[in-house]
Structure 1
Amino acid sequence: MPGERPFPQHRLTGIGDEAARGLEGQLDAVRRLGWTALELRTIDGVPLADLDAGTFRTVAARLRDAGLDALCLASRIGNWARPITHPFADDLAELDTLADQCAALNCQYVRIMSYPDDGLPETEWAARAVDRVARLAARAEAAGLTLLHENCAGWAGDRADRMLRLVREVDSPALRLLFDTGNGVPHGYDALGILEQVLPHVAHVHVKDAVRAPDGTVAYTLPGDGQARVTDCLRLLLESGYTGAFSLEPHLAVRPHEGLRTQDDAVGLFVRAGRRLEEVLAGLAPHATTPAASAATPTASATKPAASEGARA
């Protein structure tokens, strides 16, 4: 039918603060795209776990009023700002707060990373990272949540063998993997090669693209215009029967780890990147050989175990 979008809209979302600091701008970006969900990270620059109770109630009410789901909450747990020597109590407290927020939002997923090193020997770093994630997963499982480890900052951030070891040794239904298509370009690894190895354990996907210049500088692009082989990654996911969400994180106007927020039209850039993501997925839609499930439900293939210590999202 004319105007029909061939890719299921309920499987498309995006990290809202990449479009706007404030919630209304984040909602506006999703409305303009016609999507039905948001991935939440910060509101007015404040991480979700640091919102006061009244502000969070307002956020939850606005999402309900807008008819939008929250598919994932992006935490700071184990991220680029919290190395392995950072007090673990902060991560446990953040997870407890996010668990309450997830219950209020009917959200299952919390994004985590696996702790950058801070001068420890590799064996000790590995043991401590695995232990922390195992303890977090136990707490998440008790709360009915699923932690999503991203191929970003930390011990298992940029190596498939470490991702596989992390999932295997933690051995919990509350730990799955989040694959970001674009993290390999700025941090010098082959993201598609990693995806090929960890594919059965991927339950959520971030989409960004980038190019690296000969002088080493990195610029972010619309999905499919860069060097991250975004189309190849998305094709592989769809052909494998991946039924989860594709979450836009374009980094065109906002890069939180760099403290960057441009004066450009962030909502407009986000919407433009979202339209491109739709185009890429629509072209790949024939490769989606299994029925689309709810994006809030883990993929059927992601019921067992599995890269960037320096990669940051």
Structure 2
Amino acid sequence: MRGLEYCFSTLGCSDLNLHQVADLAKRNGIEAVELRGLSGTLDLPAALAAEFGKPSGLAAFLSRQKIRVAALNTSVRLFDGPDLSPIEPFIAWAEAAGAGYLRVFDGGSRLSKAGMVQAGDMLDAWQAMRQSRGLKVDLMIETHDALADFEQLVAFVEQVPAARILWDTHHTWAKGSGAEALWGRIAASVVHLHVKDSALDGDGRRHYVLPGQGDFPMAGLMSLLSSDERRLPISLEWERHWHPELPPLEDALTAASGWWRQGVF
């Protein structure tokens, strides 16, 4: 067990530019960030171009920082499009940042075998292009829509074992999947994790709360991860961009400092 790499998504501070994000990470002892929104927009290539000019400017900035960009998060959906060409504007920035992954959503609702085959073909085409261009960045697929369902996620990783998975642990848990049973089936495919906390309101609906104030089973998740030999990024996805009523990300990071470091970590 090598421990985890603590991380946060800029979905929680999408008004900040990357200079400010790096300062926020440093203040909170965070080692890595995943980029989703910057400078008030989710159009990362445009935001990075406005701040740094060219990818080489981003690379020069990051060379002076003690922060790693774990991923650039796109809005592309694997199961809802004919191909993965919309990720092209992100590639040069991801390479300059030294990011390991570009995030794509799963999309869809109910997956057919034909749909899984098509997705596998698209991922094969991506890998062929990646090798021909000598790219280091790869794709990871978030468990957001169809793949938040236990049976569909397990079927997908069995059908497409080379797929890399961003496991949004809250999404699968909220849909009724036990972390232990699911981890036992998908662990080899998982390269990144999202965590967040929530509680039920009086109408039986979930709403996000500061880490540690809800009922997400973080202790159980951390116990599961303790046996993994990889240094997986565990990222706080504080969805303030979509839920502006939430407290600032820095408050969430302060609350998370004990919540996600409990147990052996």
Bin of the TM-score, shorter chain as denominator length = 0.7 to 0.9
CA contact (8 A) 1:71 1:108 kept: yes
* 1:88 is aligned to 2:82: yes
2:42 is equivalent to residue 47 of structure 1: yes
How far residue 52 of structure 1 moved from its aligned partner, in angstroms, is 6.2
Match among 85, 89, 101 for residue 93 of structure 2: 101
> What secondary structure sits across from 1:127 in the alignment?
helix
Aligned to 2:236: 248
Cα distance between partner residues in 2 of 1:276 and 1:177: 26
User: Cα offset for 1:272?
Assistant: 1.4
Structure 2 CA distance for aligned equivalents of residues 168 and 19 of structure 1: 36
CA 1:95–1:234 in 2, change beyond 3 Å: closer, same or farther? same
Where does 1:115-134 land on structure 2 (aligned, <5 Å)?
115-117=107-109, 123=112, 126-134=113-121
**Secondary structure at the counterpart of residue 66 of structure 1:** coil
Identity percentage of aligned residues = 20
User: Does residue 167 of structure 1 match 2:157?
Assistant: yes
Specify which of 195, 206, 213 is matched with residue 194 of structure 2: 206
The match for 2:123 among 136, 160, 165 is: 136
1:147 to 2:135 alignment: no
Name the aligned partner's letter for residue 162 of structure 1. Q
Shift of 1:41: 0.7
Task: Provide the C-alpha distance between the structure 2 equivalents of 1:180 and 1:75, rounded to a whole number of angstroms.
Answer: 15
2:148 to 134, 143, 157: 157
Q: What TM-score, normalized by structure 2, do the two folds share? A: 0.80
Q: Name 1:310's counterpart in structure 2.
A: none
Distance 1:46 1:28, change over 3 A: same
Aligned-partner Cα distance in 2 for 1:63–1:274: 25
Per-residue deviation, residues 235-272 of structure 1 (Å, max 9, x unmatched): 10112334212111133xx1x4xx322374x1432331
5+ residue gaps, structure 2: none
Task: Find the aligned partners of 2:13 and 2:218 in 1 and give their Cα distance.
Answer: 20
Amino acid at match of 1:202: V
Residues 210, 252 of structure 2: 8 Å contact kept: no
SS of the aligned residue for 1:76 comes to strand
Hey, what's the Cα distance between the residues in 1 that align with 2:143 and 2:180? Answer: 11
2: CA distance between counterparts of 1:229 and 1:130?
34
Instruction: Determine the C-alpha separation between the residues in 2 that align with 1:219 and 1:263.
Output: 10
Q: CA separation in 1, counterparts of 2:48 and 2:35?
A: 16
User: How far did residue 104 of structure 1 move?
Assistant: 0.8
Is the alpha carbon distance of 1:133 and 1:28 closer, same or farther for their aligned partners in structure 2, counting shifts above 3 Å?
farther
Superposed CA deviations along residues 26-73 of structure 1, whole A, max 9, x for unmatched, are: 223201112232111111232345416732635825444333221111
CA contact (8 A) 2:161 2:189 kept: no
Superposed CA offset, 1:105-150 (max 9, x none): 1112122222224xxx853xx5235413541353144333332222
Q: How many residues align?
A: 254
